[in-house]
A and B are shown apart, each in its own frame.
Chain A
Amino acid sequence: MALRRDTICALASGPPPSAISVLRVSGPHVADIIAARCSLQTLKPRHATLVDLLDEKGTLIDSGLAVFMPGPASYTGEDTLEISLHGGRVITELALRSIMSAGARLAEPGEFTRRAFEAGKLDLTRAEAVADLIDAESEAQHQQALKQMDGALERLYAGWRDDLTTCLALLEASIDFPDEEDAPDRVDAPVRETLLRIDQALKDALVQGNITERIRDGFKIAILGKPNAGKSTLLNQISKREAAIVTDIPGTTRDVVEVRLTIGGYLVWLSDTAGLRETTDIVEAEGVRRAMKAADEADLRLWVYDAREDFDMSVVQPGDIVVANKSDLVAPKDVSRETLTIVAKTGEGVANLEADIISHISKMTQNLSAPMITRARHRQGIERALEYVSAARDHLKLQSGSEFVAEDVRQASRELGMLTGHIDPDTVLGAVFSSFCIGK
């Protein structure tokens, strides 16, 4: 089956700011994109070449090292361009925009590797292997990462590890050394207490992990407001395309329109929603329901109102952004100073709004100390561990036997192995022998 391929691009290195940002472009239009956006019309295959990257107007964005790898001798089997730029947010974003405007779209997560697999470049095992290596699951890398991280997170993981080991040591001591006076026979109470602590810690980590995952998968921003406030116009303005239908008729937008884009180097899902009002129209009512849902799920809510009207501040929650649109139609003094003013139609003020969005997202990520949980696999590991921990707690409640409790705690520790480091039986035995005087 012949697949019609488009060209994809993405930031291949970690989120900026960083020393350099590597952008990767793969697909049939790579040569065209080079011709359109680089200071050199063609690049010598497989040679690192210094080029200027330009935007659609021909303005310099940044200079960087570019490597062109014509297919099929590339990772994906397609024509591929890798370009290393200075790792600033603005540079990265402008560069991606420029490349996209020349005929590429943002890649889905894992799409480069999937293309490599589909091109017969990898068998499935090797595709998995690459994912594994990228995931940096290895204990050595993990240890290194731990060392680099600030103390708080290191203490958190060390705490999990200690708690799990304590729990297992108690359970195993009671199971393996029944004849030992010093080994505890009834361990339910201390195990219950420790499991409760682990349970809470894992839940907390999942909440925090949400944000780090957003960095990878995109922040959800919902544009909300009354009908005809200019939400769709704003979406089109920010995304630089006619993604949403715009008319003067209130209630034009019925469904949620989502656009994927980068703002300040952050991946963002911007959604335009139906205007919020009481309505008897079934379709529109459903649209309003969906808008409310999008509002609930959003990481950031963007309230837009017509500057000529009043805005009911009671709907605004802390952390939301409020924007007065159509500010060209009112006198500046009529708008409160704290409110951003824009003219969505012309784009006036939109740059300020984008800066505000970036600062909101930065604030969300600021206190973040959990780079380890950015991977969905880590998150799933914690979720599964949490399930095992609750199963173990159920067994304690039902008194179904310490061997069941131990089994679930052991599984939990296995699931968390990639974060806490593997806890092997000898670690547990070591804890047993140092805590209890064993040896009849």
Chain B
Amino acid sequence: MHDSFDFDVIVVGGGHAGCEAASAAARTGARTALITHKVETIGEMSCNPAIGGLGKGHLVREIDALDGLMARASDRAGIQFRMLNRSKGPAVWGPRAQIDRQLYRSAMQGEILNHENLTVIADGVEDLMVKNDTAQGVIGESGTAYSAKAVVITTGTFLKGIIHRGAERIPAGRVGEKPAIGLAERLYALNLPIGRLKTGTPARLNGETIDWGKLEMQPADEVPIPFSYLTDQIEVPQIACGITHTNAAAHAIVAENLKRSAVYSGAIAGRGPRYCPAIEDKIYRFPEKTRHQIFLEPEGLDDKTVYPNGISTSLPREIQDAFIREIEGLESVEIFEYGYAIEYDYVDPRALDVGLQVKTMPGLFLAGQINGTTGYEEAGAQGLVAGLNAARFGRGKPHASFDRAEAYIGVLIDDLITRGVTEPYRMFTSRAEYRLSLRSDNADQRLTERGIELGLVGASRAEMFHVKQNALTDGRNKLQTLAMTPNAAQKHGWKVNQDGQRRTAWEFLAYPTISMTDISKAFPEVACLDQRTKDQLEIEAMYAGYIERQKDDVAALRREESLALPGDLDYGQVGGLTNEVRAKLEHVRPATLGQASRIEGITPGALTALLAYVRRRPSRTRANG
């Protein structure tokens, strides 16, 4: 039954995008190979050892709902679990954990090296194999040709990566890794639109030389809440992180040496992230701030390395030595490795379609930092989408995608391919229009069913999911059937309008003052539901009104998404478009009217013109497929 290809899908790179891509493709049954030049760095965390946070934690839950790896690996490696925004509503809770680098790597390698349908090959990749303008495999450094129906490239910052530290320049992907030259040349030869970005990292400290006694400590949550719906409880010991601050003396040193920072010497052209500025940026841009907060995050239980989150820098080594030792608790700290800025090329993701396939080269998929994003979670989510669709491409199936009303994954991909990036792209909850329904608590309810249909979800998760769904349906039915008069409600001490209208338990739950505990006391049938079901339904009822309100919006979104714009649409033929609008449409070539509406600067007038034109065209072709 095997055809002439060695594999269905080849994934190049063993980072976070690569692991999820390889696993997703393999889960759907595709014969998959993950090729990396160093098997022992699979699942390596190259920047700060933490997973999750606002928006990012949502992505991790979604990857998990589709049976991806990141959440489970994090649960086996998390050493400080915290639910961010606990004081706010559940829609904006953000699960986050400090991660033990070593534990994570071995958890991830355990998954990848023992994965059904997945072969791991240790080899560098020198070139793509291209036949009939279609990617059909890769050629290894070893000279071996590996053929495949589709190729996913997840090689991070390897395109013209340059490390900057003071006046030092080191061509590199990450410290100690050599950039892949041949593959990069091939990608440049494809003439994809390329941009340049930068990001930075702080020095790594020896935790044994930190004076922890002086510092405020931030403990983990008392009861750590796992990332994965499959994890019952966290068994990894939990630690605390330290908190310290920069001060006037440290600021003075940085300010005096601003010119020696690679960022301020004019050596760097790429744009850095606004949400993760170097310490020299913070001091320059916010001179009125007398101090900046630093989290001292241990990189592992048995690792004395500490990541000082908040002081990434590209100042020369001796300046880093000087200013860091001004900081409380770090007076005699030993620096293991100095901070640096890294500048790299990325592929403008507007060159990709909704499956993350290069529009001009069928069979070639790109995922992760190469598309201008930052973060493990963003990389993993893209990897999942690219791996899934690479496998589907091999079977001749159209892309599967998620829309903005369904998942943060959908928001991420749509933002990338529609708006491109101007700084390393990171997820925030404020990017999601449907934030109140895209919660971290309900990722499984939103996505697992889809995952089962797409063949991404294994049998055990599917079974667990159905049990949970049944419990929720039962509980919801109970809450929506049980009812009470306002008079009776008043006897329970609930403040409701005495209008004689019977209300269901579900409706009572929508009152901010009435909790599930109150409901359980009033209705014994509810009291006997299990706690997890009750918690989940309480959250659901809380947002039900708003989600109902958004239904029309979602319907409108889906209507526009279902209106495909032909890939070969001649925008010159569409009347009423300004040159500027036409240029933008030609650049992005949106697949649907909905996507067109989200391109920056596209006017409602232009959309109606587009709609009228497409409606008039007799034949309608699907945009991707």
Task: Enumerate chain A interface residues (CB-CB to B < 8 A).
Answer: 123, 125-126, 128-129, 132-133, 136-141, 168, 172, 175-182, 398-404, 406-407, 410, 418, 424-426, 428-430, 433, 437-440
Q: A125 and B612: CB pair below 8 A?
A: yes
What is the bound-complex CA distance between A136 and B576, given in angstroms?
Answer: 13
Q: B431 and A133: CB pair below 8 A?
A: no
Which one, B277, B292, B430, B581, contacts A425 given CB within 8 A?
B430
Which B residues lie within 8 Å of A438 (CB)?
274-277
B107 at interface, CB cutoff 8 A: no
Known: A403-B92, A403-B436, A438-B275. A141 touches B605 (CB 8 A): yes
Interchain nearest-CB distance for A293 vs B (Å): 31
Known: A433-B274, A437-B289. A133 touches B608 (CB 8 A): yes
What is the bound-complex CA distance between A220 and B54, given in angstroms?
Answer: 55
Q: A407 and B609: CB pair below 8 A?
A: no
Given A139-B601, A403-B435, A440-B293, 14 additional A-B pairs, CB 8 A: A132-B608, A137-B603, A138-B604, A141-B605, A176-B54, A177-B54, A178-B84, A398-B512, A404-B89, A406-B430, A425-B428, A437-B282, A438-B276, A439-B276
B310 at interface, CB cutoff 8 A: yes
- Secondary structure at chain A's binding surface: helix, strand, loop or mixed? helix
Chain B 532-562 interface residues, beta-carbon cutoff 8 Å to A: 546
Which B residues lie within 8 Å of A424 (CB)?
600
* Chain A residue at smallest Cβ distance from B48: A440
What is the bound-complex CA distance between A266 and B310, given in angstroms?
Answer: 65
What is the bound-complex CA distance between A168 and B431, given in angstroms?
Answer: 12
Which A residues lie within 8 Å of B293 (CB)?
180-182, 440
Which A residues lie within 8 Å of B84 (CB)?
178-179
Which one, B282, B295, B430, contacts A428 given CB within 8 A?
B430
Interchain nearest-CB distance for A1 vs B (Å): 27
* Chain B residue at smallest Cβ distance from A418: B604
A-B contact pairs, 27 of them (CB 8 A): A123-B615, A129-B609, A132-B604, A133-B605, A133-B609, A137-B603, A137-B605, A140-B578, A140-B580, A140-B581, A175-B88, A177-B275, A178-B54, A181-B292, A402-B88, A402-B89, A402-B92, A403-B88, A406-B435, A407-B435, A410-B433, A429-B274, A433-B274, A433-B275, A437-B285, A437-B286, A439-B281
Q: B310 and A440: CB pair below 8 A?
A: yes
Q: A129 and B89: CB pair below 8 A?
A: no
Known: A138-B603, A437-B292. A404 touches B429 (CB 8 A): no
What is the bound-complex CA distance between A125 and B609, given in angstroms?
Answer: 11
Q: A425 and B431: CB pair below 8 A?
A: yes
Which B residues lie within 8 Å of A137 (CB)?
603-605
Which A residues lie within 8 Å of B276 (CB)?
438-439
Number of interface residues of B (CB under 8 A): 50
Q: A176 and B603: CB pair below 8 A?
A: no
Which one, A178, A182, A398, contacts B94 given CB within 8 A?
A178
What is the bound-complex CA distance between A219 and B433, given in angstroms?
Answer: 41
Q: A175 and B54: CB pair below 8 A?
A: yes
Chain B 415-446 interface residues, beta-carbon cutoff 8 Å to A: 419, 428-431, 433, 435-436
Which B residues lie within 8 Å of A404 (CB)?
89, 436, 546
Which A residues lie within 8 Å of B606 (CB)?
138
Which B residues lie within 8 Å of A133 (CB)?
576, 605, 608-609
Interface string of B602-624 (1 = CB under 8 A from A): 01111011011001000000000
B309 at interface, CB cutoff 8 A: yes
Chain B 437-491 interface residues, beta-carbon cutoff 8 Å to A: none
Which A residues lie within 8 Å of B46 (CB)?
none
Task: Enumerate chain B interface residues (CB-CB to A < 8 A).
Answer: 53-55, 84-85, 88-89, 91-92, 94, 274-277, 281-282, 285-286, 289, 292-295, 309-310, 419, 428-431, 433, 435-436, 512, 546, 576, 578, 580-581, 600-601, 603-606, 608-609, 611-612, 615
* Chain A residue at smallest Cβ distance from B439: A403
Interchain nearest-CB distance for B113 vs A (Å): 34
Instruction: Name, among B94, B430, B580, the residue most crowded by chain A CB atoms within 10 Å (CB to CB).
Output: B430
Which one, B88, B91, B428, contacts A172 given CB within 8 A?
B428
Q: A129 and B289: CB pair below 8 A?
A: no
Which A residues lie within 8 Å of B608 (CB)?
128-129, 132-133
Known: A138-B606, A140-B603, A403-B92. A175 touches B430 (CB 8 A): yes
Which B residues lie within 8 Å of A182 (CB)?
286, 289, 292-293
Interchain nearest-CB distance for A400 vs B (Å): 5
What is the bound-complex CA distance between A417 and B512, given in angstroms?
Answer: 31
Interchain nearest-CB distance for B86 vs A (Å): 9
* Chain B residue at smallest Cβ distance from A171: B430
Interchain nearest-CB distance for A350 vs B (Å): 45
Interchain nearest-CB distance for A239 vs B (Å): 39
What is the bound-complex CA distance between A430 and B546, given in angstroms?
Answer: 27
Which B residues lie within 8 Å of A181 (CB)?
292-293
* Chain A residue at smallest Cβ distance from B415: A425
Which B residues lie within 8 Å of A128 (CB)?
608
* Chain B residue at smallest Cβ distance from A433: B274
Which B residues lie within 8 Å of A429 (CB)?
274-275, 428, 430
Which one, B277, B578, B612, contacts A126 given CB within 8 A?
B612
Interchain nearest-CB distance for B188 vs A (Å): 29
Which A residues lie within 8 Å of B580 (CB)?
140
What is the bound-complex CA distance between A172 and B604, given in angstroms?
Answer: 27
Which B residues lie within 8 Å of A175 (CB)?
54, 85, 88, 92, 429-430
Which one, A139, A176, A440, contacts B429 given CB within 8 A?
A176
What is the bound-complex CA distance between A435 and B548, given in angstroms?
Answer: 34
What is the bound-complex CA distance between A182 and B293, given in angstroms?
Answer: 9
What is the bound-complex CA distance between A168 and B606, given in angstroms?
Answer: 28
Which A residues lie within 8 Å of B55 (CB)?
176
What is the bound-complex CA distance between A112 and B516, given in angstroms?
Answer: 57
* Chain B residue at smallest Cβ distance from A174: B88
* Chain B residue at smallest Cβ distance from A143: B603
- Nearest first, the 7 A-B pairs at minimum CB distance are A138-B603, A138-B605, A129-B608, A401-B89, A433-B274, A181-B293, A172-B430
* Chain A residue at smallest Cβ distance from B427: A176
Interchain nearest-CB distance for A171 vs B (Å): 9
Which B residues lie within 8 Å of A126 (CB)?
612, 615
Q: A178 and B85: CB pair below 8 A?
A: yes
Which B residues lie within 8 Å of A403 (CB)?
88-89, 91-92, 435-436
Interchain nearest-CB distance for B299 vs A (Å): 16
What is the bound-complex CA distance between A231 and B534, given in angstroms?
Answer: 71
Interchain nearest-CB distance for A82 vs B (Å): 21
What is the bound-complex CA distance between A182 and B430, given in angstroms?
Answer: 18
What is the bound-complex CA distance between A224 and B255, given in angstroms?
Answer: 78
What is the bound-complex CA distance between A425 and B604, given in angstroms?
Answer: 18
Which B residues lie within 8 Å of A139 (CB)?
601, 603-604
Interchain nearest-CB distance for A174 vs B (Å): 8
* Chain B residue at smallest Cβ distance from A179: B84
Which A residues lie within 8 Å of B430 (CB)?
168, 172, 175-176, 406, 425, 428-429
Q: B611 and A125: CB pair below 8 A?
A: yes
Interchain nearest-CB distance for A383 vs B (Å): 17
Which A residues lie within 8 Å of B294 (CB)?
440
What is the bound-complex CA distance between A437 and B289, given in angstroms?
Answer: 9
Which A residues lie within 8 Å of B546 (CB)?
404, 407
Which B residues lie within 8 Å of A178 (CB)?
54, 84-85, 88, 94
What is the bound-complex CA distance between A425 and B430, given in angstroms?
Answer: 6
* Chain B residue at smallest Cβ distance from A141: B605
Which A residues lie within 8 Å of B94 (CB)?
178
* Chain B residue at smallest Cβ distance from A169: B430
Known: A126-B612, A178-B94, A403-B89. A439 touches B604 (CB 8 A): no
Q: A439 and B428: CB pair below 8 A?
A: no
What is the bound-complex CA distance between A226 and B55, given in angstroms?
Answer: 71
Interchain nearest-CB distance for B118 vs A (Å): 36
Interchain nearest-CB distance for B377 vs A (Å): 14
